[in-house]
Structure 1
Amino acid sequence: MADFKLAKLPDGTPVKLSITITPYLQSALQDYAAVYAKAYGVEEPVAQLIPAMLAGFLESDRTFARSRAARK
């Protein structure tokens, strides 16, 4: 299948991660979820928003992206 245009999809198996956060961060995340709900008209649990928030943060960090690319 050398001519197949679509590359093999990466492993999409979710990985569970448990963390401990400060009360301030918990409050800020709840406030963020409330603003998100007002903006989009859909209430999402904080746990559903965090992966997208982390991905966005990592994607926006140019220094990290350059360092990561250099390691490969």
Structure 2
Amino acid sequence: MTKLKLGAIADDRPVKVTVELPAVVHRDLTAYAAALAAETGAQAVPPEKLIAPMLARFMASDRGFARGRHNAKN
């Protein structure tokens, strides 16, 4: 199996946000949650719990975003 980009999902205090997703994205999140559970040996997490870590990972790897945040601090 391919190594997934996300690791185990930390249990953190959430902030409630309502988002509408296309059905295909929800199906992919559900499949990703199942793959993550199989890879980590942990219980499957609900697909909505994947959204925050995926967004955080995406933003952390976006060089343009990081550069913009750095420039805004200066």
TM-score grouping bracket, smaller chain normalisation: 0.7 to 0.9
Alignment partner, residue 60 of structure 1: 61
Distance 1:39 1:59, change over 3 A: same
Q: How does 1:1-72 map to 2 (within 5 A)?
A: 14-42=14-42, 43-72=44-73
Pair member with larger Rg: 1
Total equivalences in the alignment: 61
Alignment partner, residue 5 of structure 2: none
Cα RMSD of the aligned pairs, angstroms, is 1.7
Gaps of 5+ in 1: 1-11
Q: Provide TM-score, normalisation by structure 1.
A: 0.74
Gaps of 5+ in 2: 1-11
Percent sequence identity over aligned pairs? 39
Cα deviation digits, residues 19-48 of structure 1 (max 9, x gap)? 001011011111110110110111111122
Deviation at 1:56, TM superposition (A): 0.6
Q: Provide TM-score, normalisation by structure 2.
A: 0.72
**Bigger RCO of structures 1 and 2 (CA < 8 A, at least 6 apart):** 2
